[in-house]
């Protein structure tokens, strides 16, 4: 795409964004404030009409602005009141010629008034929505407005859930998944499942995703000081909207270079649904992303249109088995068989298998017996601010540096002490 074309498109997008934000803001603002704006525009229209020489010098089109605003926000009744008020202000109260103060003929302002009413009703009808849909649209617009405010004022935080290697004798934290947290000042905690889809709809996800990525890269650089190697990986969730961005690879590279981290320390998680939206484009984007040196994981595996035909086509490294299967593995043999076979499938294709949502020691033991490589879940670690991961990494470093004590028969007391000091690193 030529640069002029690009500039034109971005200018258009910018204009579109400003307009949609202004409309959104007007839709959710206090009703009294909206009435004040409409009344103010009416008076301003009258003043402009007078200043330019009266109704005869310029057609009073200005009055359509407050009428349309009233129609959009307050429906047919609001449009009628605004049209009637405009008819009066643009009629008997506006001279035909300001210099001579000649009054307008009655037929002129009555005809104009009829147009005001007609146009107002047409706009009111065109923007009419059922009461439920209007309320829902307002709720979405308000949430979008609040989300923008939250991003600008740093109300969003990135928490991390530890990812554990469960293949070895001793569990170790080998990575962490970045999960967004929003504490709304009045509505309290709003789960990402609610605001991420909204951000996807409005396109805000690009800005949100970029901020999360920048924060994760910064955090990884900090952890790198503790880990002293590049084998700690932070996972970042990517939405379908972000995956569709042709510049995704460039943006990622910029963030990685900016933070001075190793690309292998980042993993991007994409759901099957996001990938399947357009498998050809997804493959291209994923390949471009992987070419930067990061690793890729299929998130919530098993919940989308799982198909063997595409799994081996995608340039991925990890398959994350969805928590809905893990929740049933110790109770239902079908779920256990499905999980065991998914692990086998992952290994056959050269991928690692990660179990999501591990909540009990029994589930963990069963997954280990199935040769699952990695696990994540409340039993191992709940998502928390980054300080918890920092503490775990420091503990692991201390343990690594300590010379291993000569093997002795473990007394009951040491076994008990070890048990009580189970931590994020060793659980
Ligand atoms: P996900 O990527 O599959 O993340 C795992 C979700 O499972 C998280 O929910 C996590 O808190 C929860 N979880 C982890 N272990 C357990 C467990 O043992 N039991 C149960 N019941 N749940 C567990 P959360 O934080 O509410 O996130 C929900 C989804 O929101 C994520 O699913 C991800 O798709 C999306 N999300 C979160 N942060 C971001 C982000 O920064 N960008 C994008 N695009 N999506 C995000
Ligand atoms: Mg995820
Ligand atoms: Mg998941």
Counting from 1 in the atom list of ligand 1, the atom nearest the Cα of 379 is: 18
Predicted pLDDT of residue 418 = 39
Question: Strands 172-184 and 188-190, how do they pair?
Answer: antiparallel
Closest residue by Cα to residue 237 from 202, 201, 200: 200
Counting Cβ atoms within 10 Å, is residue 416 exposed (0-12), middle (13-18) or buried (19+)?
Answer: exposed
Across 308-318, average pLDDT = 83
Give me 234's structure tokens. 């932070």
Parallel/antiparallel/unpaired status of strands 156-165 and 188-190 = unpaired
Closest to 359 measured CA to CA, from 373, 339, 378: 378
pLDDT of residue 214: 95
- Length of the chain measured in residues: 427
Dist. CA 105 → ligand 1 center (Å): 69
Ramachandran angles phi, psi of 300, nearest 5°:
50, 40
For residues 305 and 187, which has the higher predicted lDDT (pLDDT)? Answer: 187
Q: Indicate the domain borders of the chain.
A: 14-126, 158-401
Cα 299 to ligand 1 centroid, rounded to whole Å: 10
pLDDT tens track for 157-167: 999 999 999 98
Atom of ligand 1 nearest to the CA of 212: 41
The answer to whether 248 and 289 are in contact (CB under 8 A) is yes
pLDDT at 230: 73
In this prediction, residue 17 carries a pLDDT of 65
For ligand 1, whether the C-beta of 189 sits within 6 Å is no
pLDDT recorded at residue 410 = 44
pLDDT, tens digit (0-9, with 9 covering 90-100), for 359-408? 999 999 999 999 999 999 999 999 999 999 999 999 888 887 776 655 54
3-state helix, strand, coil in the chain (%, to 5): 60, 15, 30
Per-residue pLDDT, 164: 96
For the segment 310-327, the average pLDDT, to the nearest whole number, is 91
Cα–Cα distance between 119 and 287 in angstroms, integer? 53
**What is the C-alpha to C-alpha distance for residues 241 and 219, in angstroms, rounded to an integer?**
24
Ligand 3 centroid distance, CA of 178 (Å) = 11
**Ligand 1 pocket, residue 180 CB under 6 Å:** yes
Which residue is closest in CA terms to ligand 1's atom 4? 179
User: Which position has the higher pLDDT, 245 or 374?
Assistant: 374
pLDDT number for residue 220: 96
Mean pLDDT of 270-291: 87
Check pLDDT > 70 for residue 414: no
Q: Which residue has the higher pLDDT, 83 or 62?
A: 83
How sure is the predictor about 412, in pLDDT bands with cuts at 50, 70 and 90?
very low
For the segment 169-212, what is each residue's pLDDT rounded down to a tens digit? 778 899 999 999 999 888 889 999 989 988 988 888 988 999 99
Residue 132: predicted pLDDT: 67
pLDDT score of 84 more than 50? yes
Give me the pLDDT at residue 202, please.
Answer: 83
State the distance from the centre of ligand 1 to the C-alpha of 179, rounded, in angstroms.
6
For the whole prediction, is pTM greater than 0.85?
no
For 158-401, CATH gives 3.20.20.450
pLDDT at 2: 39
- Ligand 1 neighbourhood includes 162 CB (under 6 angstroms): no
Closest ligand relative to 207 C-alpha = 1
Instruction: Please tell me the least confidently modeled range out of 17-21, 85-89, 293-297, 383-387.
Output: 17-21
User: 128-152: per-residue pLDDT in tens?
Assistant: 776 667 677 777 788 888 899 998 8
- pLDDT at position 405, please? 59
Q: Which helix (H) or strand (E) holds 180?
A: strand 172-184
Instruction: Check whether 215 has a pLDDT greater than 70.
Output: yes
């Amino acid at each position: 795409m030529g640069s002029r074309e690009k500039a034109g498109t971005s200018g258009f997008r910018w204009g579109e964004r400003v307009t949609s934000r202004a409309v959104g803001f007007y839709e959710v603002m206090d009703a009294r404030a909206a009435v004040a704006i409409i009344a103010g525009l009416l008076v301003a229209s009258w003043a402009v009409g007078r200043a330019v020489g009266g109704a005869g010098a310029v057609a009073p089109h200005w009055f359509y602005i407050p009428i349309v605003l009233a129609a959009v926000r307050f429906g047919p009744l609001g449009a009628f009141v605004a049209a009637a008020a405009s008819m009066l202000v643009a009629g008997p109260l506006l001279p035909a010629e300001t210099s001579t103060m000649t009054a307008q003929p009655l037929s002129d302002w009555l005809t104009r008034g009829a147009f005001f009413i007609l146009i107002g009703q047409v706009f009111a009808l065109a923007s009419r929505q059922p009461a439920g849909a209007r309320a829902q649209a307002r709720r979405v617009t308000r949430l979008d407005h609040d989300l923008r405010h939250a991003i600008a004022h740093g109300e969003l935080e990135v928490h991390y859930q530890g990812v554990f290697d469960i293949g070895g004798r001793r569990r170790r934290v080998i990575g962490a998944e970045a999960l967004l947290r929003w504490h709304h000042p009045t509505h309290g905690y709003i789960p990402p499942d609610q605001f991420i889809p909204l951000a996807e709809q409005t396109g805000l996800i690009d800005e949100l995703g970029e901020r999360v990525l920048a924060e994760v890269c910064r955090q990884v650089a900090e952890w790198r000081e503790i880990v002293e190697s590049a084998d700690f990986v932070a996972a970042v969730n990517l939405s379908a909207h972000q995956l569709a961005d042709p510049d995704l690879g460039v943006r990622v590279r910029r963030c990685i270079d900016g933070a001075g981290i190793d690309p292998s320390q980042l993993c991007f998680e994409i759901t099957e649904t996001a990938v399947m939206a357009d498998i050809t484009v997804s493959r291209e984007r994923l390949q471009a992303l992987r070419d930067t040196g990061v690793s890729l994981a299929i998130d919530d595996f098993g919940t989308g249109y799982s198909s063997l035909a595409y799994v081996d086509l995608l340039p991925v490294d990890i398959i994350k088995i969805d928590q809905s299967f893990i929740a049933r593995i110790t109770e239902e043999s079908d779920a256990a068989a499905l999980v065991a076979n998914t692990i086998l499938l992952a290994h056959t294709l050269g991928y690692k298998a990660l179990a999501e949502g591990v909540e009990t020691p029994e589930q963990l033991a069963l997954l280990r017996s199935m040769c699952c490589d990695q696990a994540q879940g409340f039993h191992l670690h709940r998502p928390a601010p980054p300080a918890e991961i920092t503490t775990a990494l420091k503990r692991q470093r201390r343990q690594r540096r300590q010379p291993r004590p000569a093997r002795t028969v473990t007394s009951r007391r040491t076994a008990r002490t070890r048990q009580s000091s189970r931590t994020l690193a060793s659980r």
